[in-house]
Amino acid sequence: MSVLVIGDLELEGGAVLPGVEIAYEAYGTKNEQGDNAILICHALTGDAQAAAWWAPLVGPGKVFDTERYYVVCSNVLGGCAGSTGPQTRDNFPTVTIRDMVRAQKRLLDQLAVTRLQLVVGGSMGGLQAIEWAVTYPAFVQRCAPIAASAQLSALAIAYNHVMRSAITLGGADGLALARKIGMITYRSFDLFEARFGRELKRPHAALGETEFQIESYLEHMGQKLLGRFNADSYLCLLKAMDLHDIGRGRGGAQQALAQIQADVLWVGIDTDQLYPPQEQRTWARRLARLGKQVTYRELNSEYGHDAFLAEGEQLSLIISDFLQETGGN
Torsion of CA 101, 107, 110, 112, to 10 degrees: -70
324 phi/psi in degrees, rounded to 5: -65, -50
Kindly state the smallest distance separating residue 134's Cβ from a second copy, in Å.
17
Establish how many alpha carbons lie within 13 A of residue 75's alpha carbon, considering only the half-sphere containing its beta carbon: 23
- Select the span of 108-116, 158-166, 295-303, 319-327 touching a second copy (CB under 8 A): 158-166
Q: Are 229 and 45 in contact (CB under 8 A)?
A: yes
Which of 223, 273, 314, 329 is in the footprint of a second copy by CB under 8 A? 273
- Select the span of 19-27, 59-67, 149-157, 305-313 touching a second copy (CB under 8 A): 149-157
Is residue 83 part of the annotated active site? The answer reads: no
Which of 77, 108, 166, 237 is in the footprint of a second copy by CB under 8 A? 166
Which of 142, 180, 292, 297 is in the footprint of a second copy by CB under 8 A? 180
Question: Which among 123, 188, 233, 301 is annotated as catalytic?
Answer: 123
- Considering only CA atoms, which of 126, 120, 26, 58 is closest in space to residue 312? 58
Kindly state the smallest distance separating residue 287's Cβ from a second copy, in Å.
18
- Which helix (H) or strand (E) element contains residue 156? helix 154-186
Residues within window 80-99 making contact with a second copy, judged by CB under 8 A: 93-94, 96
Can you tell me whether residue 26 is helix, strand or coil? Answer: strand
Helices (H), ranges, 266-326: 277-289, 307-310, 312-325
Is 181 near a second copy (CB under 8 A)? yes
Q: List C-alpha distances in Å: 86 to 93, 132, 152, 161, 231.
A: 8, 23, 23, 19, 9
Length of the chain: 329
Is 243 near a second copy (CB under 8 A)? yes
Can you tell me whether residue 320 is helix, strand or coil? Answer: helix
Q: Are 69 and 100 in contact (CB under 8 A)?
A: no
Which of 49, 110, 153, 223 is in the footprint of a second copy by CB under 8 A? 153
Is 189 near a second copy (CB under 8 A)? yes
250 in a known ligand binding site: no
Q: Is the dihedral of CA 86, 88, 93, 99 positive or negative?
A: negative
Q: Are 269 and 277 in contact (CB under 8 A)?
A: yes
Beta bridge partners of 118: 38
Which of 3, 157, 258, 290 is in the footprint of a second copy by CB under 8 A? 157
Of 35 and 242, which has the nearer Cβ to a second copy? 242
Is 190 near a second copy (CB under 8 A)? yes
Beta bridge partners of 266: 296
Beta bridge partners of 120: 40, 144
Which of 154, 203, 291, 327 is in the footprint of a second copy by CB under 8 A? 154
Of 71 and 177, which has the nearer Cβ to a second copy? 177
- Considering only CA atoms, which of 38, 15, 8 is closest in space to residue 322? 38
Is 254 near a second copy (CB under 8 A)? no
195 in a known ligand binding site: no
Is residue 272 part of the annotated active site? The answer reads: yes
- # residues near a second copy by CB under 8 A: 51
* Maximum Cα–Cα distance across the chain: 69
Is residue 305 part of the annotated active site? The answer reads: yes
Of 153 and 316, which has the nearer Cβ to a second copy? 153
What are the residue numbers of the active site? 123, 272, 305
Q: Which segments are annotated as binding site for substrate?
A: 179, 306
For a second copy, the binding residues (CB under 8 A) are: 12-14, 93-94, 96, 151-155, 157-159, 161-162, 165-166, 169-170, 173-174, 177, 180-181, 184, 188-190, 192-193, 195-198, 206-208, 210, 212, 214-215, 218, 239, 242-243, 245, 273, 276, 278-279
Q: Which segments are annotated as binding site?
A: 179, 306
